[in-house]
Amino acid sequence: MRRPVRTHHGFVVLLLFALFAVACEPGPTPSPVSTAESSPGPSAEATPSPAETASPAATSERLADVQSRGQLICGVNGGLPGFSFLEEGTGEWSGFDTDFCRAIAAAVLGDPEAVEFRPLSADERSTALQTGEIDVLVRNTTWTVSRDTAWGLFAPTTFYDGQGMMVTSATGATTLQDLEGATICVQSGTTTELNLTDQMRALGVDFSPQVFGDIDATYDAYTQGRCDAVTSDRSQLVARRTQFTNPDDHIILDVVMSKEPLGPVAPLGDDQWFNVVKWVVFATFEAEEQGIDAGNVEQMRDSSENPVIRRLLGVQPDAGELAAGLGLEDDWVVNVIGAVGNYGEIYNRNLGPDTPFNLDRGPNRQWTDGGLLYAAPYR
């Protein structure tokens, strides 16, 4: 009786020592609080290794972290053609959102390919931001006040979207009121889920939601007839419809159920890093407004007389100070535009007339064309 008990104790002690050693490993200092500072937080187990993990920064540390790591960790959707998906055949990441990840990497590291894309579900993205596991979230995420205060800071909207509703043409529905009694598929953890409820309640339309955690499960259930309709951002509906076996059997109702401003999100608590993300987005807007594109950016830098362009491209005498304020190289905008092009190029390459989506730019035009894109002055 006695012997087994003793061996048992010895084993437990060994195990605890091992655990303790492992728990302390990432921390260079013995104090538990310091250990906590340098370890990636509660969701550490979800990340591959400490070296690859973006450590959360309390103050302006993230820019330095990204630069010393030599890679940007960018949270993306991963399942949304046109925005972020793996290109068939090449296996390369491609899309509107991924191009903004590349733009940030080009600005910060000078290399648009120095990005680790991390696909996140709608549920996972808030935790990934809050724990600082990713440097920036570019995942068709709607800007709301609760997310701005609890998730992270929203950079300028890159895509003005609205919630739409897709139905099979067999239902003959043309308005939301026609969907009385219908079953509607929706993805959990989205603003869409809440808007659907709000809109239908306002219209007094009874419906039954069918909620899935995964984007693929949502559309699978819809195409198999489990639901009469599926609701999401209009751009997403258009993108997913191109993947259906018979895209023509599905129509997107001519209703916009909500405002969905989608944009990049930087983790809370690092103002400088947030400024970098914000101004990379503005730079793509400004470049389009000034007629700078991937093809002519170097020539513009070398020959333009326009002080606005010269300042943006880092050749005006005061431009160095502006770039230094962001913590970036003088020619960071040249890197960004040279790598991914201006906003219009990014849009057309991924969603424009030559793509299967052929999405009209709508409100995503420059303010000079009657759209909503309006970059703050770079000066």
Name residue 341's amino acid. Answer: G
C-alpha–C-alpha distance, residues 152 and 129, integer Å: 7
Contact 114, 225 (CB under 8 A): no
Q: Which residue among 189, 327, 352, 362 contacts another protein (CB under 8 A)?
A: 189
Buried b (16+ CB within 10 A) or exposed e, 240-278: bbeeeeeeeebbebeeebbbbbbbbbbbbbbebbbbbbb
Segment near another protein (CB under 8 A); pick from 108-116, 179-187, 317-325, 338-346: 179-187
Residues between 132 and 151 that touch another protein (CB under 8 A)? 132, 146-147, 150-151
Rule CB under 8 A: choose which of 109, 153, 166, 179 binds another protein.
179
The CA-based dihedral angle spanning residues 201, 204, 209, 213, taken in that order and rounded to the nearest 10 degrees: -20
Q: Which two tokens stand for residue 143?
A: 């800007």
- Whichever of 183 and 348 has its CB closer to another protein, that residue is 183
What 8-state DSSP symbol labels residue 367? G
Closest distance to another protein from the beta carbon of 37 (Å): 7
Which residues are paired to 267 by β-bridges?
A: 152
In angstroms, give the least distance from the CB of 39 to another protein: 6
Q: Least CB distance from residue 226 to another protein, whole Å?
A: 6
User: Is residue 61 involved in binding another protein (CB under 8 A)?
Assistant: no
326-361: string of b/e by CB count within 10 Å (b at 16+)? bbbbbbbbbbbbbbbbbbbbbbebbbbeebebebeb
Q: Interface with another protein includes 6 (CB under 8 A)?
A: yes
**With CB under 8 A, what is the number of residues at the site for another protein?**
63
* CB-based contact 338:345 (threshold 8 Å): no
What's the Cα-to-Cα distance from 42 to each of 33, 69, 171, rounded to whole Å? 14, 21, 47
In angstroms and rounded to an integer, the radius of gyration of the C-alpha atoms of the chain is 24
Q: Binding pattern to another protein, positions 8-27, x when CB under 8 A?
A: -xx-xx--xx-xx--xx---
**Which one of residues 7, 25, 29, 42 is an interface residue with another protein (CB under 8 A)?**
42
Task: Identify the residue among 119, 226, 244, 298 touching another protein (CB under 8 A).
Answer: 226
Choose which of 64, 202, 217, 376 interacts with another protein (CB under 8 A).
217
Q: Does residue 225 belong to the site contacting another protein (CB under 8 A)? A: yes
Q: With respect to another protein, which residue has the nearer C-beta, 126 or 236?
A: 126
Q: Is 194 in the site for another protein (CB under 8 A)?
A: yes
Q: Which of 60, 67, 188, 348 binds another protein (CB under 8 A)?
A: 188
Of the candidate spans 86-94, 121-129, 344-352, 359-367, the one that interacts with another protein by CB under 8 A turns out to be 121-129
Rule CB under 8 A: say whether 273 interacts with another protein. no
CB 341 within 8 A of CB 322: no
The piece of 85-93, 106-114, 187-195, 369-377 that touches another protein (CB under 8 A) is 187-195
Among 208, 296, 299, 306, binds another protein (CB under 8 A): 208
Q: Is the distance from CB of 201 to CB of 207 less than 8 angstroms?
A: no
Asked if 92 touches another protein (CB under 8 A), the answer is no
SS3 348: helix
Q: Which is nearer to another protein, 265 or 312 (CB)?
A: 265
How far is residue 20's CA from residue 168's CA, in Å, rounded to a whole number? 58
Which residues make Cβ contacts (< 8 Å) with residue 224, sequence separation at least 6?
none
Considering the rule CB under 8 A, would residue 130 count as an interface residue with another protein?
yes
